[in-house]
A and B are shown apart, each in its own frame.
Chain A
């Protein structure tokens, strides 16, 4: 039960962070990707801030011997699915202004562009899932 409440609070904070940072707004995301136009550096600072605090979490987790923190850290090599998958994702991100997190939050707020993105996103995940052998 405690772990379910923990995950729920984590989801709430994650969503709140996306809203407060403005990352649920596709115009701000596209503004960051628009290097040849009027560049908005906001997304870069959101990432830097998020990474810094996640790093604290990673450090704290490393000091614990609790099995709940034993995240599988086995590093696989940098392979083609990783690079090609990321490139395909980047194209979709640029076209829509949405990555998965903001799409979920903005769709929950019934923002129509996010609802359309979610339809495509779920189809893409399901189709790719069929090819995966994990």
Chain B
């Protein structure tokens, strides 16, 4: 394993992570809710789950790029590459997205609900979830690199 120090952006990580943690705390203290994005999306798909706080939180997330738009290029730690539209890339993203949806629904949480909020309250279930999805993510990218001779978007 080589650590890519040139890609590592510690200040952006600390500040961005802090904002995520403050946002999760705010939702917990003000609404008594867990900032779990897969759960929020999954519940919004059901008519009975369309409650005001979920819609408001989602609206905030959707508006966040607009809010940061004037300074987006300055605050982003690296330029976001836009891959070419090819059948292979679209298929990979579509299948990947589908697996994320299926998996997070069965596991009742994703990187935010289990990873951030769950670990912050020392939940053993969340720790098991994080170890499982991180492990699976590491193995997937390692296999992709092995079979494809490299990874690119």
Question: B-contacting residues of A (Cβ < 8 Å)?
Answer: 2-28, 30-31, 33-43, 45-58, 60-61, 64, 66-71, 73, 75-78, 81-101, 103-106, 108-109, 111-113, 116-129, 131-132
A27–B7 Cα gap in the complex (Å)? 10
Q: How far does the alpha carbon of A92 sit from the alpha carbon of B78 in the complex, in Å?
A: 23
Q: Are A21 and B101 touching (Cβ within 8 A)?
A: no
Cα of A77 to Cα of B92 in the assembled complex, Å:
33
Asked if residues A20 and B19 are in contact (CB atoms below 8 Å), the reply is yes
Q: What residues of A have a CB within 8 angstroms of the CB of B10 in the complex? A: 42, 45
Known interface pairs A87-B103, A94-B140, A96-B96. Does A39 touch B32 (Cβ–Cβ under 8 Å)? no
Most buried by A among B16, B81, B119, B145: B16
What does DSSP make chain A's interface, helix, strand, loop or mixed? helix
Per the bound structure, the CA–CA distance linking A27 and B75 in Å amounts to 17
Q: Which residue of B lies closest to A38 (CB)?
A: B4
**5 tightest A-B contacts by CB?**
A124-B101, A11-B60, A57-B25, A21-B16, A15-B64
B26 with A6: CB separation less than 8 A: yes
Whole-angstrom CA separation of A34 from B139 in the bound complex:
9
* Given A100-B112, A111-B82, also A18-B137 (CB < 8 A): no
B85 partner residues in chain A, CB cutoff 8 A: 112
Docked Cα-Cα span, A78 to B23, in Å, equals 27
Q: Counting CB contacts under 8 A, is B98 at the interface?
A: yes
Question: What residues on B are CB-neighbors of A18 within 8 Å?
Answer: 16, 20, 64
